[in-house]
Amino acid sequence: MHPTNTMLNLVSQGDIPHIRIQADERQPLINFRELVRYRELLLTLADRDVRVRYKQTVLGVVWVILQPLLGSLIFAFVFGVVARLSRPGKPYVLFAFAGLMAWNTFSAVFSRVSSSLLGNAQMISKIYFPRLILPLSTAAAAMIDFGVSLAMMSVMLLFFRSWPGWGVLLLPAWLIILVTMALGLGLLGAALMVRYRDVAHIIPVMLQLGMFISPVALSTLAVPEKFRFVFWLNPLTGLLEAFRWSLLGPDDGTLSLPALAYSIAAAAAAFWIGGTVFKQQERSFADVI
Amino acid sequence: MSSSDLAVSARGLGKSYVIAHKTARPTDFREAIVERLRHPFGNGRQEVETFWALKDVDFEIKKGGITGIIGRNGAGKSTLLKLLSRITAPTTGTIDIYGRVASLLEVGTGFHQELTGRDNIFLNGSVLGMSRSEIKRKFDEIIDFSGVEKFLDTPVKRYSSGMYVRLAFAVAATLEPEILIVDEVLAVGDAQFQRKCIGKMKEVGSDASRTVLLVSHNMTSIAALARECLLLGQGRVVSQGPTQEVIDHYMAEFAAVDSSEPGLFVPKPEPGKTFAVQTLEIFSRGQRTDTIRMGDDLSLLLTVDPSVHPSCRSLTIGFGIETATGLRVVSLGSMATSTEFPVDGGRLEIQCDAGNLPFNQGQYTIRVTLSEPNSPPIELHESLGILHVLPADVFGNGVFLHEQQGFFYWKSRWSHEFVNEYAGVEAV
């Protein structure tokens, strides 16, 4: 690790901004003032990410809707039609879509944030800006997808005449916990990937494994009792269940307070660890990348 | 000095990198696996060395005008730029910057190939620190300067490289920071555009409230633009002062340090190619050298092994002496004196005596061609040799020519006489 830290003091001296760059000083975990100064860059980069993703595609932004929809139709076919899984609650397409919506958001934020530094290596080595802008703008762009999925979900709920209860008001809370966890892991991944490109290969494997031990296509109740603890060890399980509870009601999701407390703790830990490692490595990104 | 006159000050500035030398590489797969298992996170057997790219650097740059930062490759120029523009952090020391800074280490940072020119103007502008409203305000100016109006809604990946650079520079040119840090961007684009850029730089540099730090290898543009220069050498400040003095210092140092085999040049080996040209040597005042003073004699010695081209029956040689920007100053060809060289006697040493060529000061490169008489070249060596010409009092009166006052000096005779006011009228 690089032995240096830099402190940027913005001391106003009359009307001339004075910047002091020094070796060996500490900065807070998140320098909010710097982030606010660079907020326009954050928005512009998020906008770029969204625009670029569907450039030179025929269907363009339609893919944002089509991808999760096709995913849930496949699930519906495999589990609903082929396996004839009988379960209480709402139609299986809704069930799968709600799960996928949450899982895809987690997976998109985690994996895209992880590669956000490497994908912008040129910018990092040529220009100064708070490095945190890159992961944050990437995460913001991924949230657009969530917004589209949510709209899609609303349409499907209307179509099936299924009304979520008041529990839906808690959805933003689950989303914040989910994104915090994904962002924390993503920051850790991004900082490590600058030095160890291996991380780029590990993350897809981790996500694949994660999907198998998360209640995405199946409810935790459908999992045999003796394996259920594996699911509950996964801090995402409580959140995915809560997502479904909010969107589809108690027949399709379980609201478990201990599981949610566990998720919150895991999200906080992930964010703190990811943020700290990112901060420590930040100053040497341009030297190593 | 009170800090209100200062734009930048650095004290005890240093930047070190840790470089790892691999002592032995695993040569086969099995060995590589064993190595990896033994040191799962290591990078092979390594020796670690600390390298100081910059060390104990102190300097102050006053507000207003353009300051050039010069030095040979590896002198620490780029590292200094990266520290000043906060891309990387110093290992030791402090930098104080008084004013808003924008740095331009390349043009088009953050440009995305898939996006249109219009999108990229906004993207690049905010990467450079402009606000959206500022970019909107300057949008017309940017388009005007770049001249790519027709292609504004075309993805930049379809742009020619010239258009790309023009658009990128146009965005950068509208920046209005108090301190602008620029790296070599003048080296891009066509001549007309370069003039435009230099004009822009001059405009910025003449504003007393704005300071420009310009790093360049191009002594001509440095001399034309910068009022003061900072010369770096081996990570330290070698000298700072008026531009011409520092450039002279640089040229002298360049000649002195690069002296393992001064004036001897060997073609760079290319895989699968054997060259007849073995060496090029530059002689002046009876010594082999790569540095002469203005007005000195110059002779070039070429060692050739014609057996490389067995089908060749006789040879002619051409030397082209060119400026750093590739402009041919003079061609010295053996055909001009109807000289051909025989190829049946083994290795040849061919000498070309150029006499006292009236070169102006500067750095020149020597291009060598080898041909059969009246045929296209069989061998071409671009920039095989480098010749430094140092300033000298060639007019004998202490008047020196600047680098941008032409490629050669020439003594001209001047006279005058008084002319009768009505001479023309009376003649009618």
Chain A residues in contact with B109 by the CB 8 A cut-off are 122-123, 126-127
Judged by a CB distance cut-off of 8 A, whether residue B90 touches chain A is yes
Distance CA B66, CA B73 (A): 21
- Pairing outcome for strands B179-183 and B211-215: parallel
Domain enclosing residue A102, as ranges: 29-288
For residue B211 the two structure tokens come to 């300071």
Judged by a CB distance cut-off of 8 A, whether residue A128 touches chain B is yes
Specify the pLDDT at position B173: 80
For residue A16, pLDDT beyond 60: yes
For residue B240 the two structure tokens come to 């700072």
Least confident piece of the model among B107-116, B307-316, B370-379: B107-116
Distance CA A119, CA B381 (A): 39
Say yes or no for a CB contact (<8 Å) between A18 and B97: yes
For chain B, which domains are there?
Answer: 3-21+55-256 (3.40.50.300), 264-390 (2.70.50.60)
Q: A46 and A143 in contact (C-beta within 8 Å)?
A: no
Has residue A45 been placed in a domain? yes
Say yes or no for a CB contact (<8 Å) between B131 and A19: no
For residue B284, pLDDT beyond 60: yes
Has residue A11 been placed in a domain? no
Has residue A153 been placed in a domain? yes
The closest CB to that of B97, out of A3, A5, A19, belongs to A19
Say yes or no for a CB contact (<8 Å) between B105 and A41: no
Largest CA distance in chain B: 106
Q: How confident is the model at residue A10 (pLDDT cuts 50, 70, 90)?
A: very low
Has residue A23 been placed in a domain? no
Helix (H) or strand (E) holding A217: none
Q: Which of A13, A39, A48 to mutate to test the interface with B (most CBs of B within 10 A)?
A: A48
Hey, is B340 helix, strand or coil?
A: coil
- Pairing outcome for strands B377-390 and B348-355: unpaired
Distance CA B130, CA B174 (A): 9
Specify the pLDDT at position B166: 84
The closest CB to that of B99, out of A17, A52, A122, belongs to A17
Say yes or no for a CB contact (<8 Å) between A55 and B132: no
Has residue A16 been placed in a domain? no
Has residue A139 been placed in a domain? yes
For residue A174, pLDDT beyond 90: yes
Say yes or no for a CB contact (<8 Å) between B91 and A3: yes
Judged by a CB distance cut-off of 8 A, whether residue A6 touches chain B is yes
Mean of pLDDT over chain B: 83
Has residue A64 been placed in a domain? yes
Q: How confident is the model at residue B24 (pLDDT cuts 50, 70, 90)?
A: low
Mean pLDDT calculated for residue range A269-274: 96
Among the listed residues A50, A44, A126, A34, the one whose alpha carbon sits nearest the alpha carbon of residue B135: A44
pLDDT per residue over B304-337, tens digit each? 998 888 888 889 999 999 887 678 899 999 988 8
DSSP state of B186: G
H helices present in A29-83, as ranges: 32-37, 39-53, 62-75
Q: A117 and A135 in contact (C-beta within 8 Å)?
A: yes
Distance CA A264, CA B70 (A): 55
Say yes or no for a CB contact (<8 Å) between A44 and B128: no
For residue B350, pLDDT beyond 90: yes
Distance CA B307, CA A105 (A): 70
pLDDT per residue over B6-17, tens digit each? 889 999 999 988
Domain count, chain A: 1
- Among chain A residues, the shortest Cα distance to B84 is held by A21
Q: How confident is the model at residue A11 (pLDDT cuts 50, 70, 90)?
A: very low
Percent over 70 (pLDDT), chain B: 85
Distance CA A133, CA A169 (A): 29
**Residue B209 to chain A, least CA–CA distance (Å):** 11
Judged by a CB distance cut-off of 8 A, whether residue B123 touches chain A is yes
For chains A and B, CB pairs below 8 A equal: 113
Residue B278: exposed, middle, or buried by beta-carbon count in 10 A (0-12, 13-18, 19+)?
A: middle
For residue A135 the two structure tokens come to 């992961």
Only one residue has tokens 């080996």, namely B269
For residue A12, pLDDT beyond 60: no
pLDDT per residue over B195-228, tens digit each? 777 777 778 778 888 898 988 776 667 777 888 9
Specify the pLDDT at position A5: 35
Specify the pLDDT at position A7: 36
Say yes or no for a CB contact (<8 Å) between A44 and B17: no
Has residue A5 been placed in a domain? no
pTM of the model: 0.71
C-alpha count within 13 angstroms, C-beta hemisphere, residue B342? 3
Specify the pLDDT at position B29: 65
Distance CA B46, CA A189 (A): 26
Chain B residues in contact with A8 by the CB 8 A cut-off are 86
